[in-house]
Structure 1
Amino acid sequence: MGFSLLVVMFLIGFIGSFFSGLLGIGGAIINFPLLLYVPEWVGVGQFTPKEVSSISMFQVFFASLAGVLSFRKQSKIGKTVVHKGLVTIMGVSILSGSLIGGLGSKFLPSDTINIVYGVLAVLAVIMMLIPSGGTKEDIDVKQVAFSKSIAGISAFLVGIISGIVGAGGAFILIPIMLTVLKIPTRITIASSLAIVFASAMGGIIGKLAAGHIPFWPTVFTVVGSLIGAALGSRVSGLLNVKFLRFSLAILISLTAIKIWISILG
């Protein structure tokens, strides 16, 4: 294993996790295709989809942790708010689901994991295109109301699939929070990272049991993630809400296109 591969892994972790902190995602929606294709493109190495899903899950865990800690600091000065009730309900549900999905991933072939990831990305794009009419962006977090049953069930199902894929699930969870639960964008972004952190805990346990974890590439990806996520979350508080939502839609769309080109090709 060469030094060049470790540098590439660090950069992938940094880039993916910058957007993790910026947009409230775990980073897997970016890192999965980057990990799958970039090392081979630049001639430094190659990973199987199962290895990529394992590296990605560890990246998501540490990126979401760094993002949550950064958002907590910002919330103390009134820049952003985490909805504790939403995080508790969806966090417990997604953790339970991701444990099941992570353990079950070892029974699935790599091609199936890729297809599941591609289908999820398409569903996320469709949901992001649905107008979020009726959502009030400037209300206090204590005034935010949502269906607890829908929140819990949807998070559990997302957890199962994200555990299989090796993602935190935010790329599908955020569209659900925005379009179905009608949660304001900034509260969604801040809260989703905490929910993704819970999902990643379950996913890591599953991946450790299933194996397929390249140690040093994972370590360097995680180091890049810790730096990138903290920086991204700081930048997020400075950007316009509409720009953040538009960026999410574009990001998920590009990833969906790339994954399906790979599958069909």
Structure 2
Amino acid sequence: MKKFSQLAVPYIVWAALMLVLPMLLIAMYSFTEQGNSIVSFKFTLDHYVKFFTDPDFLIILWRSIWIAIKTTVICLLLGYPIAYYIARSSERAQNILVLCITIPMWINMLVRTYAWIGLLSEGGLVSRILGIFGLGNMSLLYTQGAVLLGMVYNFLPFMVLQINTSLCKMDQSLLEASADLGANRVQTFRRVTLPLSLPGVINGITLVFLPAVSSFFIPKLLGGGQYFLIGNLIENQFITVGEWNFGSSISMIMAVIMMLMMMAVRKVEKHNRGGKEEE
């Protein structure tokens, strides 16, 4: 057993160098003044005060959380029926349908988002379809709808795959038992299928919300800089403005928000498990 545990050492070193060390550097930058020398540091909370006292930054934060919530809800409403249909299909059909879901993920997300620029621009496929229905041949780019569409398109597979995994692991004999006890399809879904699929739903919500709230290139490409989110603000502080300290403080704030979100999700999951155990 000791020999096997030693095999994990390279992974621990890699995680420390690639994950822990960068986060420590970001935390250090967020609590120090800009232009400090290597020898001496001046610690300050001014960067955090600046963020929470400026209404523009708070509006951007709320806008990012709100669009992430809408993205997560839409992905859940679309993803659950898709995952349910895949799970109820034959084994061969399941493999084909899962492959159809995952094939777009083989292409870089940035390339897929660029493709939507051509589809949503004036004269693109989407605008032409709208023109057929008399809605006008106009560009849909650089709007909140375009950003939301891009996020749902990119993050929907994460929701579908997580829910589908939970549904496929479900014991089918429980459905048969529910039918034998006189429950109809709606009652079976509400009392058996939905509770057993909640772990997949919770994992899907986590995998969609976290990248959606911090996304920066989707709103940059499809929003054209007119729909500014917290990820764009962080990118702007690091690359354009050059205020690494303030950008690091915003990154730390988002890290705390994400951790609180994950803790809340896990608490709901534990509560759900406890409720099922009591039943």
TM-score of the aligned structures, taking structure 2 as reference length: 0.30
User: Which one has a bigger Cα radius of gyration?
Assistant: 2
TM-score of the aligned structures, taking structure 1 as reference length: 0.31
